[in-house]
Structures are given as structure tokens and as C-alpha cells.
Amino acid sequence: MKTITKTIKSLLVATAIISSSTLLGADGSTLYKNCAGCHGMSGEKVALGKSKVIANMSEDEITNAINGYKNGTYGGAMKGLMKGQVVKLSGDDVKSLATYIASLKQ
Ligand code: HEC
């Protein structure tokens, strides 16, 4: 009986740890792995020959751009493509990404 209680207790602890890290959301460097193919590992590329060099953008500019792609108020000829990249990001994801990308500036 004691062993079962112990097992349940450790399961509960493990679940608590897993859910608290989910609450924090994914970190910017992990999320950015989905973007690096077009924008470069350091945000240094002109994606598909069209985008700005995002490493040169400020955190606010990046946040505005991502939120604008999500709701269709920002972008150029290829904004539809970017919408597909960011539409599923939460507000916290956008924040982590913007902080991370802005930190890439050399
Ligand atoms: C398939 C290639 C591709 C991927 C993957 C991609 N992007 Fe883009 N990104 C582009 C293109 C092309 C543009 C320019 C779109 C336009 O016409 O507005 C752009 C524009 C941007 C801009 C605004 C720059 C500007 O020109 O105003 C930001 C910020 C940005 N992307 C961030 C991201 C983030 C963050 C991710 C990952 C979640 C990502 N991108 C994934 C191709 C890509």
C-alpha cells in the first residue's frame, strides 16, 4: 500500500513539473528553428529574396510584423506565406520569438 502511495505521489510531482514547463511556453531559440531555413540561423538572410533582414529589426518591429501577419494587417507580396508560419503562435510565443530575434543583432 505504501509503495502505491509513493508511486502516485511521484507521478503527481512529475505531472506538476511537466505542466509548469508547458505553461512557460516554448523558448525563442526553439521556436526560431522553424524560421531559420528562410531567415538564416542568425536572422541574417533576405528570406526568399523578399524580406527585410530580421536581425536588424527591433523587438517592437518584429512583434508588430508577426502580429500583423497573423491578422493580415502587415506585409508585402508574400505575406500569405508568413501568415502560415505564424498563425498558430500564441502571444507568449510571439514575445519569446521577438526577444530572441532582436538579440541576434551583431
Ligand atoms: C518559407 C520561408 C519563410 C519561413 C519558414 C519564415 N519566413 Fe518570415 N518571411 C519570409 C518572407 C518571404 C517574408 C517577406 C513577406 C512579405 O512579403 O511581407 C518574411 C517576413 C518576415 C518578417 C518581417 C520582415 C519584413 O520584411 O518586413 C518577420 C519578422 C518574419 N518573417 C519572421 C519570421 C518568423 C518569426 C518565422 C518563424 C516562425 C518566419 N519568419 C518563418 C519567409 C519565411
Percent of residues, the chain, with pLDDT higher than 90: 74
pLDDT at 16: 55
pLDDT at 24: 56
Q: How confident is the model at residue 95 (pLDDT cuts 50, 70, 90)?
A: very high
pLDDT at 20: 46
**Burial per residue of 47-64, b for 16 or more beta-carbon CB atoms within 10 angstroms, e otherwise:** beeebeebbebebeebbb
The rounded mean pLDDT for the chain is 88
Kindly tell me if the per-residue pLDDT of 52 is higher than 60. Answer: yes
pLDDT at 38: 98
Distance 60 CA to ligand 1 centre (A): 15
If one counts every other C-beta atom within 10 angstroms of the C-beta of residue 94, the result is 20
Q: Which residues line ligand 1 (CB under 6 A)?
A: 34-35, 37-39, 47-48, 50-52, 54, 62, 65-66, 75-79, 81-82, 85-86, 97
